[in-house]
Amino acid sequence: MRKLILFCLLLSAISSTTYSQSRKYSNEFLSLGVGSRAFGMSNSVVASTGDVHSGYWNPAGLTQMTGNLQVGLMHAEYFGDIAKYDYGALAYKIDDKSNMAFSVIRFGVDDIPNTTELIDAGGNINYDRISSFSAVDYAFMASYARKMKDERLSIGANVKVIERSVGDFAQAWGFGLDFGVQYKLAHFSFGAMARDISTTFNTWSYNLDDATKDAFIRTGNEIPENSIEITNPKLILGAAYQTKITSKFGLLAEVNTDISTDGQRNVLISADPFSIDPHIGLEIDYRKMAYLRTGIGNIQKIKDFDGSETTNVQPNFGVGVKIKNVSIDYALTNIGNLSDALYSNIFSLRIDFSPKN
């Protein structure tokens, strides 16, 4: 039943697309994040990221990577296991100053019932005519990073290709660019990530048979036409502080601010066209082998039935362990309505291949 409802929503979303428009939540699956470390810290990692996951968070951080080669993997399930979210990446060192990475993200809902042919031309219901399809979003990213002459400064960039599909009904191809920078200064790190700096264009095409078109008409939806969807740029700024608490324990704290340019959003500072969404993360380590993480983000104003407003925040929690060159991380994060407390368990793995003597 839940997948059937989702199918109806997908049909409605497709039918509302016009020829060319900037949509507020276009390619939103690319805003979810990757890596359980980041989820545990409420995605506050733009300034401190320094491993294979930097290809997503801030490509400039790839220059901080240890070893010659790293592999990262993650799996998560959202909305009561309906949606599957998977990520894989590979990063390697080119030379002492430059690194590259390749990342793949998949966000999909599978086995959605297709009921557009449930009723035949004679008005008879035939359940054998129900088929299934998948709604899947893919992102393929190639990242490059390099240390500048002042080695405290690193820059990086992403080239990303996006492929989105809703069964055989609709398909889109997109292209975009990201740019990132990091600067290290004693115990402090500063970072900036400009997502979709070129604006990302998704070109949608539709392939609807007569039965599907008839279903659109009977349900009061417009028949969609080929269109272009535009994703506006987003700027993420971050500052981190890292220090030793004792000889065995270390502390890292980071504050990030997301500045979106697609109009008002339900965030702490909501304006048009800019909205500002701050979030903070904290990480405590024991000898760089065991990690405890927490963070606060997703600050929203919730309106009650009586018209009053309250400000809610989303807490996140995570742990991690590093055994030799293998890091295993876990995060417990709320990705649903805060009042419903819909939490997700997210696991990720990182393998660091150090150079051989």
**Predicted pLDDT at 348:** 95
Strands 20-22 and 69-78: unpaired
Phi, psi of 222 (to 5 degrees): -80, 150
User: What are the tens digits of pLDDT across the range 147-183?
Assistant: 999 999 999 999 999 999 888 878 899 999 999 999 9
Q: Judge whether residue 223 has pLDDT over 90.
A: no
Residue whose token pair is 């790839």: 62
User: What are the tens digits of pLDDT across the range 84-95?
Assistant: 899 999 999 999
The candidate with the shortest Cα–Cα distance to 143, out of 81, 93, 107, 191, is 93
Q: What is the CATH number of the domain that holds 28?
A: 2.40.160.40
**Predicted pLDDT at 6:** 45
Q: Judge whether residue 262 has pLDDT over 50.
A: yes
Two tokens, residue 139: 């992102």
Show the domain range for 51: 2-353
Cα–Cα distances in angstroms (integers) from residue 215 to residues 12, 116, 209, 225, in the given order: 11, 6, 10, 16
**Predicted pLDDT at 17:** 43
Quickly count helices (H) and strands (E) in the chain: 4, 17
Mean pLDDT of the region 30-46: 93
The candidate with the shortest Cα–Cα distance to 161, out of 150, 145, 172, 169, is 172
- Our count of domains for the chain comes to 1
Q: Judge whether residue 314 has pLDDT over 50.
A: yes
Angle at 35 between CA 63 and CA 77, to 5 degrees: 155
**pTM, entire model:** 0.84
User: What are the tens digits of pLDDT across the range 51-90?
Assistant: 999 999 999 999 999 889 999 999 988 777 788 899 999 9
**Predicted pLDDT at 25:** 66
pLDDT bin (cut points 50, 70, 90) of residue 337 is: very low
